[in-house]
Structure 1
Amino acid sequence: MLRQLLFTKIDNAPLLIFRMFFGVLVALECYGAIMTGWIRRTLVEPEFTFTFIGFEWLQPLPGWGMYFYFFVMGTLGICIAFGYKYRFSIIAFTVLWTGVYLMQKSSYNNHYYLLILISLFMCFFPAHRAYSSDAKKLPRLKRNYMFSYVKWIIVLQLFIVYTFASIAKLYGDWLDFGIIEILMLNKADYPLIGPLLQETWVHKIIGTFGILFDLLIVPALLWKPTRKIAFITSIFFHLFNSIVFQIGIFPYLSLAFTVFFFEPETIRKIFLKKKEAYISNEVKIPPYKNMAILLGASYFLIQFILPIRHHFIEDDVLWTEEGHRLSWRMMLRSRSGVTEFTVTDSETGETYNIDLDAYVTKKQKRRLQAYPDFIWQFAQKLKKDYAEKGKNIAVHVKSKISINGRPYEQFIDPEVDLANTPWSYVRHNEWILPSKLD
C-alpha cells in the first residue's frame, strides 16, 4: 500500500501550476520588501541585528547590499515561475532566503519558516518538466507525470502546520477570546471593518472559526464531498487574514497549495488546457526508494517533534518562549516589557545604566524588552563591545513583562550575570524566573 501511495505516477499539472504561483509569490515578497521599506527598517537601519542564536556570523550586507540581495531573490522567483535554469534558481533562492531568515528575527513570522521548507521540497521536485524554459530548450526533460509522493509531502506538511496551529489555540486566553480582543485593538482605525473588529461577538466568531478551520481544512480538502466548500472557506479565511493582519504572501501561498488537493484533471482543464493528460496511474519503484523513505521519515519525525518540544522544557512556553519558534504557534500571545540593563566593570566596580535607544531601533526595543533570547544576546553584545575597550564586565538585567494584558511580573533574575552565562538550546534557562501565569 505504501508503494502505491508514494510511487504511483500521476499527472503533474498541480506541480507545474504551483511552481508558477510559487515563483510569482516569492518574487512579490522580495520586491515588496524593497518597495515597502521592510529591508530598510529591518536590515539596514539597525546598528545591531538580532540573529538566530548561533548564527551571529550571518550579518546583513553593508550599504545597498541587502537591496541587491532581495532583488536577486525576487529575480530568482521569476526564473522559478518560468522554469528558467530551474534547479539553480530554486536552490539559490532557498539558500538566500534561509540566510535572510537566520540573520534577523525581529520580524519573525511562521510563513518565513514555511517558505524555507517548501523551497527545500521544490529543490527536489521535478517542477520544471513541462511548461518551462528548461523543457523547451531540452525536450528530453519533458514529462507529463510526477510521483504521487510529491502531492503527499505537501499535504502532510500542511496537515502538520494547520493541526499544530489549531492545538496551540486550545488554551485559556484564546478560548476566552481575550487574546483576540488584544490583537484587534490596533485594527480599530481600519476603514469600514475597524469598529466591527472591536465587537465581542466578532472576537468569538474569529476565535472559534480559527480553531475549527485549522483543525479541519486539510481533511475537508482531501474529502471530495467537502472539497469545494472547503476551498471557498479557504478563500474567505485567507483573504480575511491578508486584509486584517497584512502578513505578506502567506495567505496566497496557502491558497496556491490547494492545487494539490484537487484532481490533476481538474487543474489541467482550468490552467493547462493544452497539456497532454497522464492517465495510466502506473506504479514504478525508483532506485532511490529506500533513501527517499528514510529521508522523508526522518524529516517528518522532526516536524512532529518540534511543535511538542516545549512540553519537555520546564515552565510555560507562553512565559519563557522556549520552544515557541518553529512550532506553528501563530498569533497566540501579546508580549510587552520594561527592561533595564546595568553594566558593572569587574575591575573598578563602576556601574553604568545602558540607554537602549542608543543601540537598537524602536521595533527591536519592543522585542528586546520582552523576549529572553533577545535579552541574552544583547548582554553578549555589551560584553563584546566593552571587551573591545579593554574592559571585562558583568551584565545584570531588571525585567518585567506582561503577557496578554496581564499585570507586569518580574521576568529575569537580576542577580545573574547574563554576560557570562551560556545559552541553553534544549533545556530551560534558569535565569528566566518561574511563570506567574494562571
Structure 2
Amino acid sequence: MPRPVASLLPLASRRLFATVDIASLACFRVLFGLLMFVEVWRDLPDIGPLYIEPEFHFTFFALDWVRPLAGDGMHVVFGVLGLAALCVTIGLWYRTAAAVFFVGISYVFLLEQSCYLNHIYLLALVSFLMMFVPAHRAASVDAWLRPRLRADTAPAWALWLLRAQIGIPYFYAGLAKLNPDWLRGEPMRTWLAESADLPLAGPLLREWWAPYFFSWGGLGFDLLVVPALLWRPTRALAYVLALSFHLINAAVFSIGIFPWVMIAATTIFFEPDWPRRLWNRVAARVGAPPSPAPIVAGPPAHLGRAQRATLVALGLYVGWQLLFPLRHWLYPGDVAWTEEGHKFAWRMKLRDKNGYVRFFASDPELGASWKIDLAGRLPGWQRQEMSGRPEMILQYARFLADDLRARGHAAIEVRVVALVSLNGRRPQLMIDPSVDLARVEPSLWPSLWIVHPTFDD
C-alpha cells in the first residue's frame, strides 16, 4: 500500500539532514566565486557612468536612502567585492567573504533601478545562501588552515537549497512565458530582427519560423529543464540542452555573464560526487592518487531542536521565493504594461517597450506652463529605461517637482504625456496626462494614474 502523504512528509524532512558528498558544493563554490570576480571586473569601467556621474538615481520603493558613496567610495566597494569573490573561490574566511559579497552586491544592485537585471538579483540571493551552505569544508584554504573544519560530506539540505534557488527562476521564467504575446512570437520577433546581421546565424534569424522556434523552445526548456536534470535517465541530455540554450543566448542577446552563471550553476543538479568521480578518472590516466568516496550517513531517526529550527528557516525562505513572484496577480491590468509586480518575479525578456515621455510643469500662481527639457539632466540609458516604467516616471516627476519648489515655485504641478508601444503594438497613453504626479505618493497599492489600454490584438 502506498504511504499516505502525511507519513511521507516527516521522512522527507529527515532526509534533508542525511549527508551527501561535499564535492559538488565545493565545486559550485569555486565556479561561483570565479564568475563573481569576472562580473566585478567587467563592471569596473561602468562605475563612473552608472553610479557617480548621474545627477539622479532611480531607487526602489522605500529605499531612496540607498545612495552611491562619494569620491572614490564606489571604486572601493567594487574592489572589496572583487576581493570577497576571490576569497569565496579559494575558501579563505569563506563565511565572512560570502557575507561581504552579499551585502556589497545587494548595495550596488539597489543603487539604480534603471540597471535592474534578474541575474544580479539571483547572484545576490545565491551569495546570501552561501553564507549558510558549508561549501568551505573541502578544497579550501579554511579547511587547510583548520583541519578540524574538514569534511567530505555536507547535509543534504545545503544541496537541495541551492537546487531550489536555481530551479525557481527556471520555473517562473517558463510560467511567465505562458502569455499571448510570447506564444505569437513577440517580442522575440523584434529582437531576432535586431540580430539578423550576425555571421552564419543571421539568415536563419530572419526566417518566419525563427521567432516561434525560440519562443516555444524557450518556454518548453524553462518548464522542463529542472525535472529533466533531476531525473537520472534524462540528466545528460538536459544538461546538453541547457548548455546549448545558454550559449545561444550568450551569442544572440547581450545579457552579460548570466548564461555562464547558469551553465555553472546547473551542475548543482548532478550527483553530489560528480567532481570526485571526474577527478578520479583524470587521476587514473596520469597516475595520481584517487580521492576515496566518503562515507555518507542516512537520515536521522528524529530531528533535534536545531534541525527543526533549520527546517523552519528553510521552509520560510523557499516559501517566500515561491510566493513573492506571484504578487503581480494582486494588481489589475497587464503586468507587462503596468510593471506592478514585474521585478523580482523572474519575468525575463518578456516585453519590448518603445515610446517617449514628456514632462510638463505648471505654476498656478504664475499662470504659466512649460515643457521640461531632460537633455543634460538624464543620460540616454536612464531616459530609455524610464520611458516604459510608470513607477520610474512618477519618481522622476516628484524629483522635478522638489527641484522646482526649491527654485521658488511653491505650488508647482507636474504632468506627463507618455506614449508607449508594447511588443510592437501602436503607441498608447500609459500615464493619465490630467494627473498631477507631484501630488502622488509612491505606494504598493494599484496605481490609479496608470492608463489601462485595450489591446486590439
For the 8 Å contact 2:136–2:143, the answer to whether it is kept is: yes
What amino acid does structure 2 have at the position aligned with 1:319?
A: W
- Displacement of 1:269 after TM fit? 1.8
Q: How far 1:287 sits from its partner (Å)? A: 4.1
**Which one-letter code corresponds to 1:283 in the other structure?**
P
Q: Which residue of 2 aligns with 1:407?
A: 426
Percent identity reads 38
Corresponding residue of 2:295: 279
Q: Quick one: distance in 2 between partners of 1:146 and 1:287?
A: 19
For residue 258 of structure 1, report the CA deviation from its aligned partner.
2.7
1:17 and 1:271 in contact (8 A); partners too: no
Aligned partner letter, 2:169: V
Match of 2:273 among 265, 286, 299: 265
How do residues 38-437 of structure 1 correspond to structure 2 at under 5 angstroms? 38-271=46-279, 274-284=290-300, 285=303, 287-392=305-410, 393-425=412-444, 427-437=445-455
Task: State which of 26, 30, 46 in structure 2 corresponds to 1:16.
Answer: 26
Task: Determine helix, strand or coil for the equivalent of 1:61.
Answer: coil
1:358 maps to a residue whose letter is G
- Point out where structure 2 has 5 or more consecutive residues left out of the alignment: 1-10, 284-289
Relative to structure 2, which stretch is displaced further, 242-251 or 359-368? 242-251
Contact 2:24/2:273, CA 8 A, preserved across alignment: no
Matched position secondary structure for 1:405:
coil
SS where residue 377 of structure 1 aligns? helix
Give the distance between the partners of 1:158 and 1:403, measured in 2 at CA: 29
Q: Secondary structure of the equivalent of 1:124? A: coil
CA contact (8 A) 1:187 1:197 kept: yes
Distance 1:73 1:368, change over 3 A: same
Partner of 2:287: none
Encode CA deviations 1:232-251: one digit per residue, 9 max, x unaligned. Answer: 11111111111211322211
**Residues 435 and 275 of structure 1, relative CA distance in 2, 3 Å threshold:** farther
User: What's the CA shift string for 1:302-326, capped at 9, x where partnerless?
Assistant: 2222222111211111210101111
Residues 64-91 of structure 1: CA deviation (Å, up to 9, x unaligned): 4323322221221111100111111110
CA-based RMSD of the aligned residues comes to: 1.7
- State the shift of 1:193 in Å: 2.1
In structure 1, distance between residues paired with 2:368 and 2:71: 37
Distance 1:380 1:253 in 2: 38
SS in structure 2 of the partner of residue 283 of structure 1: coil
Q: Is the 1:42–1:106 contact (alpha carbons within 8 Å) kept by the matching residues of 2? A: no
| Distance in 2 (alpha carbons) for counterparts of 1:41 and 1:199 | 38
Structure 1 pair 58–275 and aligned structure 2 pair: CA distance change class (3 A): farther
**2: CA distance between counterparts of 1:207 and 1:315?**
23
State the distance in 1 between where 2:32 and 2:304 align.
27
Structure 2 SS opposite 1:352:
strand
Q: Distance in 2 between matches of 1:201 and 1:126?
A: 47
Partner residue in 1 for 2:7: none
TM (norm. structure 1) is: 0.95
Name the SS for the 1:356 alignment partner. coil
Distance (whole Å) between structure 1 residues aligned to residue 312 and residue 366 of structure 2: 58
Equivalent runs, 1:30-41 vs 2, <5 Å: 30-34=40-44, 37-41=45-49
Task: Look at both structures and tell me which one has the larger radius of gyration over its CA atoms.
Answer: 2
Unaligned runs of 5+ in 1: none
* Length-normalised TM-score, structure 2: 0.91
- TM-superposed CA distance for 1:346, in Å, is 4.7
Question: Deviation digits for residues 255-302 of structure 1, max 9, x if unmatched?
Answer: 222332222232212247654422333324464222222222222222
Q: Which amino acid aligns with 1:211?
A: L
Cα deviation for residue 387 of structure 1 reads: 3.0
Name whichever of 84-93 and 278-287 sits farther off.
278-287
Count matched residues. 435
Deviation of 1:61 after TM superposition, in Å, equals 2.3
CA offsets 1:195-232 (integer angstroms, 9 cap, x no match): 32222222221111101110110000111100111111
Matched residue SS, 1:53: coil
The more displaced of 188-197 and 379-388 is 188-197
Structure 1 residues 289 and 236 mapped into 2: Cα distance closer, same or farther (>3 Å)?
same
Q: Report if the CA contact (8 A) 2:13-2:311 is conserved.
A: no
Shift of 1:132: 0.9
Q: 2: CA distance between counterparts of 1:136 and 1:178?
A: 53
